[in-house]
Amino acid sequence: MVWDVCSWRDMGPLIRLETTLTGDRHFHWSPKSPEMNIIEDIREALLHAVEKRSPPPRTPMDLLTALQDSWCEFPPGYLQTPVESMPRRLTSLLRARGGPTRY
């Protein structure tokens, strides 16, 4: 498991956690509207970047290095796009009355 502290302007380093997080520490999102969770979009982009690496990571340490390197290669301001999408996502969610949306 990896973790990052980030803000609108900056993305901090990706660090490895030596533990797992329980449900008590996770954000609670509506199960019908996973598209409200921008963290999932960021996670997918990161995993896609790691999958494109050659050679692919073979060990847990290789995977951690590939995740950290891919994270650092995201362009400055990368997080602004998902954050800016939140009003559109929220409008879609309200229109769908909590159901699945296609923001």
Q: Looking up tokens 């380093």, which residue turns up?
A: 13
pLDDT at 58: 93
Q: What is the pLDDT of residues 29-42, one digit of tens each?
A: 455 555 677 788 88
Q: What is the pLDDT of residues 52-102, one digit of tens each?
A: 999 999 999 999 999 999 998 988 788 888 888 888 888 887 887 766 666
| Tokens matching residue 11 | 């993305």
pLDDT at 75: 87
| Tokens matching residue 42 | 């960021």
Query: Residue 39 in contact with residue 84, Cβ under 8 Å?
Result: no
Handedness of CA 69, 66, 71, 53 (dihedral sign): positive
The CA-based angle 77-21-73, given to 5 degrees, is: 25
